[in-house]
Amino acid sequence: MDWNSIPEELLELILSNVFARERYNFSLVGRSWNAVVATSQFRISPCLMFNLKRKHNNAFFYMDFPKLENAVIRFSNHGWLLMISRDGKALFLYNPSDNHMIKLPTPTDAYTTICFFHLPTSSKCFVFGIATEMVFPFDKLRVGILKHGEGKWATSLTGNKYHAFMSSLGPPIYEYGLLFFLDVNGNVAVFNVDEFDTSKDWAVFIRCLKQRRLRRNITEHYLIKPKCEKNIFAVFAMHYDIRKVRVFRLSNDFAWELVENIRDMVFYKYHSFEGDYSSENAHGSRRLDFAAWTIPASIDPQLPKEAMTWCPQVDQTTI
């Protein structure tokens, strides 16, 4: 048969099964194949980004970013990575698909969780950090928020009676204007960004996991909000069987309900993994540190300069 005259919809169907590097090859084969890639709804595929120097033994595509060697990925969203230098002095947003970088004011606190929501070039974007207070009696949470266009972090101390919330590395879910956090005991906390630094900004729900035995045995815990689902999910690993994970769904009254079968969903979770990528195919992924799933933003050379400027008064700290 002649592949030069193959119907476009068949090529597109084949393309939908092609990932990362093979997709790149696909567009280089010839004009007609590239035309299919350019118009395909599968044009932008999620990629696993990580910035370790050594190579990994998996089939993922990778890319070297020599200038990012001294920084770690803390979070990823909208194709952008939130990164911090290893010395903790420089915080910046980086888009690996077009090399754009936005330098951010460095927070005064070392946050356990740091994340951002909305596209970094949008005026709605904000960066959020949270940490359990490190000073006796550890009954406060340090919270910081940096909004697009503001030159410095706004910070506040929030009460954390009886250590109800023990913050962890897992990034929150941003939904209905609220940030949902999962703590090391499976408790869920909700932060209302619009009520920042008021008495109404923070609420902790405890014993969301009903069985005490489960709560005490959590070793890893992640929140995820699959696009196709309206509930928030959590994935827990328990220390008595680390190879087994349990998936729960958050009920309307903040209780974790065990999910027996997640059907054809695959959750990719690591501390900085972008939360909402799921697929039928796990692509042989293994555990990776400092990695993030990122969905490359479409290439837009017309990006206005001012969109990239968060706060002109930031000093030019180099990384």
Partner 1 sequence: MAAETGTPTTLTLKSNDDELFSVAESAAILSVTIRNMVEDGCAGGVIPLDNVDGKTLASVITYMNGISAIPADEEKKKSYRDKFLSDKDFETLADMVLAANYLNMSCLMDAVSAKIAQVMEKKSVGWVRRKFGIENDYTPEEEAAVKEEHKWTFEGVETDDDN
Query: Which chain residues interact with partner 1 by CB under 8 A?
Result: 1-4, 6-7, 9-10, 13-18, 20-34, 47, 55, 57, 59, 61-64, 96-98, 296, 299
Token match 């929140």: residue? Answer: 223
> Smallest distance, Å, CB 11 to partner 1?
9
Q: Which residues contact 275 (CB under 8 A, 6 or more apart)?
A: 171, 173, 223, 224, 225, 269
> Smallest distance, Å, CB 22 to partner 1?
5
The beta strand positions in the chain, using DSSP E, are: 47-50, 71-77, 80-85, 91-95, 100-104, 113-117, 126-132, 140-147, 154-159, 173-175, 178-182, 188-192, 202-205, 218-224, 233-238, 241-250, 256-259, 291-294
> Smallest distance, Å, CB 297 to partner 1?
11
> Smallest distance, Å, CB 82 to partner 1?
18
Q: Which is nearer to partner 1, 21 or 86 (CB)?
A: 21
Residue of 289, 280, 161 whose CA lies nearest to 220: 289
Q: Which is nearer to partner 1, 16 or 251 (CB)?
A: 16
Q: Which is nearer to partner 1, 2 or 194 (CB)?
A: 2
Exposure string over 120-137, b if 16+ CB within 10 A, otherwise e? bbeeebbbbbbbbbeeee
Q: Which is nearer to partner 1, 98 or 109 (CB)?
A: 98
> Smallest distance, Å, CB 272 to partner 1?
19
Contact 267, 233 (CB under 8 A): yes
Residue 234 backbone dihedrals phi, psi, to 5 degrees:
-130, 145
Token match 């969109």: residue? Answer: 307
Q: Which is nearer to partner 1, 85 or 97 (CB)?
A: 97
CA neighbours closer than 13 Å in the CB half-sphere of residue 95: 19
Q: Which is nearer to partner 1, 4 or 302 (CB)?
A: 4
Q: Which is nearer to partner 1, 94 or 181 (CB)?
A: 94
Tokens of 112: 């356990």
Residue 3 backbone dihedrals phi, psi, to 5 degrees:
-75, -15
> Smallest distance, Å, CB 73 to partner 1?
15
Other beta carbons within 10 angstroms of residue 190's beta carbon come to 17
Token match 């000093």: residue? Answer: 315
> Smallest distance, Å, CB 319 to partner 1?
19
